[in-house]
Amino acid sequence: MQNVNPLVQQSQPITWQRMALTAAGVAGAVVVIDGFLNRETRDGLSTAEQAYLHETFKYTGGGLVLTALAARSMFKSGVAFRIMAANPWVVLGVSLVGSIGTMMGTFYTPPEKTVQKHLFWLGFNACQAVTLSPLFLFSPAILSRAALYTVGIVGSLSYVGATARNDKFLNLGGPLLAGVTVVALASLAPMALPLGVRSLAVTEALSLYGGLAVFGGFVLYDTQKILHHARLVQQGLMKPDAMNEAIGLELDMINILVPSGLVQILALQQNKKK
């Protein structure tokens, strides 16, 4: 028998002082980002835009809460350990098929079919929960900090996108897709190519920090897309569908948090301090 190191990452507990400093940092970041990206802001959102944005964020928050609770339950029941013991390519394929299938089912189900649409939406969140359940192997302090930072980042960027005078962030769609491709290749390169230590460090940094920047850009893009759709709904050119809008924001937040996001960055920082 050999002694092995535990998989759980250790970290310092979160204190009220640290939370206050984090909140102050987030508030300062909102001011700085808004001043840098929005030199001119709009006068205010219309009632229709506000209502559509609020409903979208309700579904986003509800989906994330359901995903977190289901992932925690799966971790306690041992699902996370069985996932880690299985073939990673099989797990990746099944999770992709399940997530994409339920997401497409949600997208293509009209809002009038309320029950069917909610079932697909619940299935999508369940697939996300299965994929994210191994995260609870990390220290609760690291997960809590990462979640807090994610909420701060998404909240500040959503505010920037919502208060921009024009739809300039809607032009980011093409560059962001290219960025996702680069980040994905950087993540898969160590699995497919024999890389040296320096090359591995470069691809890891590109995957972590590049992914954070790209999905932060997607928050700006998706926020303005929601407002654009709200105006089309107001004009009678499309049907309101906050659930579809929420899936985009939910994926943005999950990708900022994991897999190449704040959880990994905070875990690496914690390891360097040891």
Is the distance from CB of 218 to CB of 261 less than 8 angstroms? no
Q: What is the number of other CB atoms lying within 10 angstroms of the CB of residue 41? A: 15
Per-residue DSSP letter, 41: B
What are the pLDDT digits (tens) for 107-157?
999 999 999 999 999 999 999 998 888 888 777 778 888 888 888 888 888
Question: Percent of the chain scored above 90 by pLDDT?
Answer: 31
pLDDT given at position 93: 77
What are the pLDDT digits (tens) for 168-182?
888 888 888 888 787
Average pLDDT over residues 176-189: 76
- Per the model's pLDDT, the better-predicted residue between 35 and 244 turns out to be 244
pLDDT given at position 10: 45
Q: What mean pLDDT is reported for the chain?
A: 78
DSSP H helical ranges for the chain: 16-37, 47-76, 79-85, 88-108, 114-132, 140-163, 173-192, 197-205, 211-234, 242-257, 262-273
What are the pLDDT digits (tens) for 214-258?
888 999 999 999 999 999 999 989 999 999 999 999 999 988 887
- State yes or no: pLDDT of 6 exceeds 50: no
Q: Which of 142, 120, 135, 12 is nearest to 63 (CA)?
A: 120
pLDDT given at position 60: 95
- What is the value of pTM for the model shown? 0.77
Per-residue DSSP letter, 237: S
- Per the model's pLDDT, the better-predicted residue between 264 and 119 turns out to be 119
pLDDT given at position 166: 78
Distance (Å, whole) CA 274 – CA 133? 26
- Per the model's pLDDT, the better-predicted residue between 171 and 271 turns out to be 171
- State yes or no: pLDDT of 82 exceeds 70: yes
- State yes or no: pLDDT of 187 exceeds 50: yes
pLDDT given at position 182: 78
pLDDT given at position 149: 83
**175 prior amide bond cis, ω within 30:** no
pLDDT given at position 173: 81
Sign for the pseudo-dihedral over CA of 239, 120, 134, 94: negative
Is the distance from CB of 34 to CB of 163 less than 8 angstroms? yes
- State yes or no: pLDDT of 263 exceeds 80: no
